Structure 1
Amino acid sequence: RQTDMLLVVLLALWLGPAHAAKLGVVQTEGGKVEGETHRMGLLRSVEVFKGIPFADVPKRWEKPKPHPGWSGVLKATQYRERCLQVTLLQTKTHGSEDCLYLNIYVPQGRSVPSNLAVMVYLFGGAFLLGAGDDVAFLGDSLYDGKELADRGEVIVVTVNYRVGTLGFLSTGDGRVAGNYGLWDQNAAVAWVHRNIAAFGGNPDNITVFGQSAGAASVSFQMLSPYSKGLFRRAISQCGVALSPWALQRNPLAIARKVGCRTTNEEEMLTCLRMSDPVGLTMAGKLNLLQLGRGPVLDLLELSPVIDGDFIPDEPSKLFHNAAEFDYLAGVNSMDGHLFAGIDVPSINRRRANTTVEQVKELLAGLTKQKGGVAVESAYGAYSAHWGSAPSQEVVKKTVADIETDFLFLVPTQIALQLAYRRGAHTYSYLFNMKTRIPGFPRWVEAEHAEDLQYVFGKPFSTPVVYLPRHRDLSGYMIAYWTNFAKTGDPSQGGSRVPVPWPAFSTTHRPYLLINHKINKNSVSFDLRQQYVQYWTETYSRLPTVVSEELDA
């Protein structure tokens, strides 16, 4: 009995510090904050701080300003409202103009952490919608950082930024310069850089990562001169600044469409500034009536612009600014399938045939700057492997491949090459786990955004809807991503990985094939090289027949 008592006392002493390890009240530049602790397992917890302001309530079409601060202790236990935006179905708006807040997830062991690597996440959503706590996933947000923080032993930060008309409207000059959402992101990273040490983070080891429009945003943050010294590494998942949807080249035409439909620019600006923010936000929604009248790409109108300030030049000419960052970037094998299914609906219909004419029509929409020659040229490149009587599966998969290559894969490969040539340590991947979305044809692999559930550890937090193979994949991705955040090398950093991931170079362009069966055969080379070569060399040399400015 005495032995039992001794064991209990020893266990209590041993467990005691584990429960005691807690940041408690944290002093930030704006005031004190206190979060709440979530148990993750024996001796492990994550302290979560929700809704910390990183900037003041933004004025319309102005850069974010410092927050004035608060007195007392801010109870950081509730997510704050998203930035004002249209709903997914584009029928109404939700959110608020008071929205520049971030959320912090700090892993705790038996002692309070210090000097942890920090990962700041930028959400995707076509620069039109989204939030740092978006998409409730069986109770928790898809971007809930607890599993990633706990399993990878990193601090995770998710941020809000302005989207839609209030985040990205531009007149193409200094009057409404645009890129306000990018300035918000930059202000959030700068806040993290100044304050994260108080939460146990290393301000000199920050990784910015994001998906889709968030991935393109990461890329713009790397290329902007305003990011110097703010972060150290970057991860782009399915999008870069060079993606054709990531830059608006004719912003004034979009501003006119939103801005009270007057040809007089001064009247238009006055009207814009006086307009109701909800009305302005609705005016920037996607025109769903135009679906089917050209590629979905043409509907994405509100995006970053070359403003001569945050983005001072063509993105491809700014990679000298990216040299200081370690860079990991890749795409999902069927990133373009979602968009291809809208542009060519027959690809997802079992009984419908996809015709040569439909393939050429899609190519005509994507390549209209180069005219009819480009259609025949691109069709030749993509049908070369068809043979004389291609199966419908081959034709339909080709349609998905065309949009994946054009919108995501080729721009990402170019970005990796440009960063590598400037001296950045770069890593390339292709995520090709079979889709979990029911109802799609058998040939569909990894759909746009399907990587996120694994990076954020959903197979662990909601095990009931996943299988062991999904947990294997999630464990691999968390290990690679957080190793990279810690050391700049996804194979080194304390988390075991199934195979070493070789660095990218322009000689053989190595990349990692990411799925639940990662082994030595998962390292491959020259990702879709003939198609990368087609778009970067053959296609780009064709003469332009329609200028992008006239085209919008």
Structure 2
Amino acid sequence: MLLPVVLLGVWLSSASAAKLGVVQTEGGKVEGRNHKMGIFRSVDVFKGIPFADVPGKWEKPKPHPGWSGILQATTYGDRCLQVTLLQTKTQGSEDCLYLNVFVPQGNKLSTNLPVMVYLFGGSFLLGASNGVELLGNTLYDGKQLAERGNVIIVTVNYRVGTMGFLSTGDERLPGNYGLWDQHAAISWIRRNIEAFGGNPFNITIFGQSAGAASVSFQMLSPYSKGLFRRAITQSGVALSPWALQKNPMALTKKIARKVGCSRTNVDEMVTCLKMSDPVGLTMAGKIDVMLILGKGVVMDLLELAPVIDGDFIPAHPSKLFHNAAQFDYMAGVNSMDGHIFAGVDVPNINMKNATTVKQVKGLLAGLTKEKGNAAIESAYSVYTSHWGQAPEQDVVKKTVAEIETDFLFLVPTQTALQLHASNSSGTNTYSYLFNMKTRIPLLPPWVEAEHFEDLQYLFGEPFSMSLLYFPRHRDLSKYMIAYWTNFARTGDPGTGENRVPVPWPKFTKSHRPYLTINHKINKYSVSYDLRSEYVTYWSTTYSRLPSIKSRGEEK
């Protein structure tokens, strides 16, 4: 009996998964680390591969000069210079243009795998390719998603905050440096991923929040022609009201004042800014919380963002969807994406005390100030039509969260889906709503899926940190990984190597199905015309109201 057991042990130890070892890239050789994921399965992980040189201040990224010897790609590169979460200081470096590659392996070396490139979110202000760390595990660790979906995952850094998005709105400081970094990373992946076992002609870019808006901008840019094949946006598009800075010069002058570069002559101001300390410039771009005390809404704080530069983004995003027609597209939102913002604008929605009609109208006033009083009343009547005479407080509070979700995320995403479907020629469009109940403790019982809660399931955290999750969370994680990686493989989330609970019908010009994503996906999870009453209100009724600027009422 002993001999077969010994032989089995020897066989199992020798029958480990294949591994890449040293890989030749255009800049030089890299060697990562192989992580066992089970019998015959492992993931090769390469961290901190440079995809461009250290960028000059407010310059486009340049090719990396390369290195001699073998680069040990075992630690993440520095995040790009940015404020910390509490905004008390900065972290990161100007030397930050690095990416990470996760390659699943079986008993033979992987070849021709689909490639998925992730762009992180963080309000264009902060974030990194390795995300937040919890118990030694980083949020954007691609091992589970790569191994379970049998795809290559690449996560990339890009410049954020003042160093990534400051602009004068003209050729002096054109802006969009963070978008150019993303473009440089995708281009590097296109040129080099075959050496890692990837298919350079089957690249999907995906992202969440500001990362999703970034994916949207990459789709719309003329520079992306033929560069990738598919795109997924989660909770954000280029049409989101927070995703575009419409008055970059005013913001640049404000930042110049903060760092002592205020000048009447714009050329002199820009010269001074270029000589200023990057750390001071980064701190000057932090969110100015005083702006919303007593007036305005949290959206007004998100000032550093892409601009229409006449180059990477040649026109308003709504006019550029002909460029996106070449890509298969999947997009959706979380059912309570706006809750975190609504909780800042109307704090008592998360408390016991009552939320009043005045507060609801105050929120609408902040969101619709470019249209004036007529918009407040018309939006209020649309959102309160189901309230009845004496609405429960939970209904009122949930309405506040829905207003912000619709305005900031859901309606812009539905508009982007409609524009993609109208322009597409032979490419697919898919719509979803993620509404898994929140796992955040102490939130009111009416809160569903909070902003960013989809990411833990997509990146397989219920498997890598199994003690923190229940079986239903692993079910959801399995479904999301299957749909996302099938889409990357075939352009159809229902078709591929991974089984899914139900087919996901295409979104077209005349037919608008969407999949509701939670742990109980079944044939009843496909519905039609997501929140169409509210989509129609914001995209048609509201948009036709005259702007107060055009009536000369704006000071």
TM-score band, normalised by shorter chain: over 0.9
Instruction: Report the count of equivalent residues.
Output: 548
CA displacement, residues 238-270 of structure 1 (integer Å, 9 cap, x when unaligned): 000000000000000010011123332122111
- How many Å apart are 1:17 and its aligned residue? 4.7
Q: 1:515–1:361: structure 2 CA closer, same or farther, 3 Å change rule?
A: same
Q: Residue type of the partner of 2:535? A: V
- How many Å apart are 1:549 and its aligned residue? 13
The question of 1:243 aligning with 2:240 is answered yes
Question: Is the 1:85–1:94 contact (alpha carbons within 8 Å) kept by the matching residues of 2?
Answer: yes
Identify unmatched segments of 5+ residues in structure 2.
Answer: none
Q: 1:498–1:35: structure 2 CA closer, same or farther, 3 Å change rule?
A: same
Matches within 5 A, 1:453-492: 453-492=456-495
Q: Residue type of the partner of 2:232? A: I
Q: 1:377–1:66: structure 2 CA closer, same or farther, 3 Å change rule?
A: same
Q: Residue type of the partner of 1:68? A: P
- How many Å apart are 1:230 and its aligned residue? 1.0
Matches within 5 A, 1:133-148: 133-148=130-145
Q: Distance in 1 between matches of 2:267 and 2:136?
A: 48
Question: Is the 1:250–1:548 contact (alpha carbons within 8 Å) kept by the matching residues of 2?
Answer: no
Question: Is the 1:18–1:111 contact (alpha carbons within 8 Å) kept by the matching residues of 2?
Answer: no
Q: Distance in 1 between matches of 2:202 and 2:13?
A: 31
1:206 aligned counterpart, secondary structure: strand
1:319 matched residue in structure 2 = 321
1:18 aligned counterpart, secondary structure: coil
1:163 matched residue in structure 2 = 160
- How many Å apart are 1:8 and its aligned residue? 4.8
1:398 matched residue in structure 2 = 399
**TM norm structure 1:** 0.97
1:113 aligned counterpart, secondary structure: coil
Give the aligned CA root-mean-square deviation in angstroms: 1.6
Q: Residue type of the partner of 1:329? A: A
**TM norm structure 2:** 0.97
Q: Which of residues 33, 51, 62 in structure 2 aligns to 1:54? A: 51
- How many Å apart are 1:294 and its aligned residue? 1.2
2:288 matched residue in structure 1 = 287
- How many Å apart are 1:86 and its aligned residue? 0.3
2:29 matched residue in structure 1 = 32
Q: Which of residues 449, 452, 464 in structure 2 aligns to 1:449? A: 452
CA displacement, residues 320-349 of structure 1 (integer Å, 9 cap, x when unaligned): 000110000000000000000000011111
2:515 matched residue in structure 1 = 512
CA displacement, residues 95-124 of structure 1 (integer Å, 9 cap, x when unaligned): 000000000000011010000000000000
CA displacement, residues 21-49 of structure 1 (integer Å, 9 cap, x when unaligned): 11100000000000001111111110100
Q: Residue type of the partner of 2:285? A: G
Question: Is the 1:17–1:111 contact (alpha carbons within 8 Å) kept by the matching residues of 2?
Answer: no
CA displacement, residues 73-94 of structure 1 (integer Å, 9 cap, x when unaligned): 0000011110000000111000
Q: Which moved more, 1:538-547 or 1:302-311?
A: 538-547
Question: Is the 1:334–1:448 contact (alpha carbons within 8 Å) kept by the matching residues of 2?
Answer: yes
2:188 matched residue in structure 1 = 191
Q: Residue type of the partner of 1:105? A: F
Q: Residue type of the partner of 2:473? A: H
- How many Å apart are 1:15 and its aligned residue? 5.7
Q: Distance in 1 between matches of 2:301 and 2:263?
A: 22
Q: Which of residues 75, 94, 97 in structure 1 aligns to 2:94? A: 97
- How many Å apart are 1:399 and its aligned residue? 0.5
Matches within 5 A, 1:121-520: 121-259=118-256, 260-292=261-293, 293-350=295-352, 352-423=353-424, 424-520=427-523
- How many Å apart are 1:389 and its aligned residue? 1.0
1:51 aligned counterpart, secondary structure: strand
Question: Is the 2:355–2:393 contact (alpha carbons within 8 Å) kept by the matching residues of 1?
Answer: yes
Question: Is the 2:115–2:152 contact (alpha carbons within 8 Å) kept by the matching residues of 1?
Answer: yes
Q: Residue type of the partner of 1:334? A: M
Q: Distance in 1 between matches of 2:138 and 2:264?
A: 43
Q: 1:433–1:394: structure 2 CA closer, same or farther, 3 Å change rule?
A: same
Question: Is the 2:242–2:408 contact (alpha carbons within 8 Å) kept by the matching residues of 1?
Answer: yes
Q: Which of residues 26, 40, 43 in structure 2 aligns to 1:43? A: 40
2:118 aligned counterpart, secondary structure: strand
Q: Distance in 1 between matches of 2:314 and 2:553?
A: 22
CA displacement, residues 121-169 of structure 1 (integer Å, 9 cap, x when unaligned): 0000000000001100221110000000010000000000000000000
Q: Distance in 2 between matches of 1:358 and 1:219?
A: 33
Q: Distance in 2 between matches of 1:275 and 1:266?
A: 14
1:429 aligned counterpart, secondary structure: strand
Q: Residue type of the partner of 1:458? A: E
Identify unmatched segments of 5+ residues in structure 1.
Answer: none
Q: Distance in 1 between matches of 2:373 and 2:349?
A: 23
Q: 1:548–1:480: structure 2 CA closer, same or farther, 3 Å change rule?
A: farther
Question: Is the 1:50–1:104 contact (alpha carbons within 8 Å) kept by the matching residues of 2?
Answer: yes
Q: Residue type of the partner of 2:343? A: G
Q: 1:522–1:115: structure 2 CA closer, same or farther, 3 Å change rule?
A: same
Q: Residue type of the partner of 1:339? A: F
Question: Is the 2:43–2:143 contact (alpha carbons within 8 Å) kept by the matching residues of 1?
Answer: yes
CA displacement, residues 452-499 of structure 1 (integer Å, 9 cap, x when unaligned): 000000000000110111000000000000000000000011101111
1:427 aligned counterpart, secondary structure: strand
Q: Distance in 1 between matches of 2:6 and 2:60?
A: 58
Q: Residue type of the partner of 2:56? A: K
Q: Distance in 1 between matches of 2:186 and 2:524?
A: 37
Question: Is the 1:326–1:425 contact (alpha carbons within 8 Å) kept by the matching residues of 2?
Answer: yes
Q: Which moved more, 1:49-58 or 1:503-512?
A: 503-512
